[in-house]
Amino acid sequence: MKEQQTMREFFSRMIQEKTAEELERTIADATRMMSYFRCAMLEVETKFRVLNEQFSLLHERNPIESIKTRIKSFDSIRGKLQRNNLPFSLDVIEEKINDIAGVRVICAFVDDIYVLADCIARQDDITVLKVKDYIKNPKENGYRSLHLILEIPIFLSEEKRKMKVEVQLRTIAMESWANLEHRMRYKKNLSEEKLAKTADMLMQCATLSSALDEKMQAVRDIVEEKDGCQI
Integer Cα distance of 24 and 217 in angstroms: 53
Give the pLDDT confidence score for residue 176 in this predicted structure: 94
Segment 2-19 mean pLDDT = 62
| Among 30-39, 104-113, 134-143, 177-186, the least confident range | 177-186
The yes-or-no verdict on residue 231 having pLDDT over 50 is no
156 CA to centre of own chain: 24
Integer Cα distance of 48 and 43 in angstroms: 9
Q: Which of 148, 103, 157, 110 is nearest to 128 (CA)?
A: 148
Phi/psi at 118 (nearest 5 deg)?
Answer: -65, -40
| Mean of pLDDT over the chain | 88
Segment 210-224 mean pLDDT = 91
The yes-or-no verdict on residue 53 having pLDDT over 80 is yes
Give the pLDDT confidence score for residue 147 in this predicted structure: 98
Could you say which DSSP state residue 18 is in? S
Q: What is the pLDDT of residues 148-171, one digit of tens each?
A: 999 999 999 888 999 999 999 999
> Confidence class of residue 180 from pLDDT cuts 50, 70 and 90?
confident
The yes-or-no verdict on residue 21 having pLDDT over 70 is yes
Give the pLDDT confidence score for residue 3 in this predicted structure: 59
Give the pLDDT confidence score for residue 87 in this predicted structure: 86
Integer Cα distance of 79 and 194 in angstroms: 27
Q: Are 109 and 65 in contact (CB under 8 A)?
A: no
